[in-house]
Amino acid sequence: MVRSNYELSITRSRKDGSDTKKRWYQDVFTSKGAWLLDLGRLSLGIGFGLASFVGPVYLAEITPKNVRGLLMSISQSMTGYGASFTFLVGCIPSLLLLLALFFIPESPRWLDFIENQRLQQNSDDNVLNLFRRKYLHIVIIGVGLMVVQASGGLYGFLFYMSEIFYSAGISSTLGFILVAVLQVDLIGSF
């Protein structure tokens, strides 16, 4: 009885999943505006989030106790390896495009833009034009951001980092590697 209900639920979930996928593709390819694409992207994100949560829980519930930890660790590591593999594969087209960038000829629009820039350089451009009323807001924001970054303590930490780790009893090389790994992990999670 349990086995037949189990197979029936799998059949239903497969059928519902394929119908949902078909509906999502139809919505995306027949959309008339950006809001429907945004809605599809939001629903896809919610679906992936739920699947990322429900999948491991379901897997943990159906596996025997003696192999549950092994199977869960393999599942989670394969998820991480799969994400890393997709990023690695995604680098290949971008590197090819970067190499091809050196062989792209200038477009007529770009050449026209450069010619207009040369003609405008002969006008009265100087540094004091930055302090005109129309640019003042942008300059204040830019300088304010630089001041906030500089007063945050990052530069002081980077300057004294080797002494800080030395006084803590850690080699500066190991400390630098730890800071780099933690920063990459924190920046990569955003």
Res 148: pLDDT: 82
Could you tell me which of 37, 16, 35, 33 has the C-alpha nearest to residue 25? 37
Give the pTM: 0.33
List pLDDT tens digits, range 110-159.
888 888 887 776 666 677 777 778 888 888 888 888 888 777 777 777 77
Lowest model confidence (mean pLDDT) among 10-14, 22-26, 35-39, 63-67: 10-14
CA distance to 148, 155, 157, 184, per residue, from 152 (Å): 6, 8, 10, 19
Both tokens of residue 16? Answer: 């519902």
Question: What percentage of the chain exceeds 70 in pLDDT?
Answer: 77
- 159 is written with which tokens? 């300057």
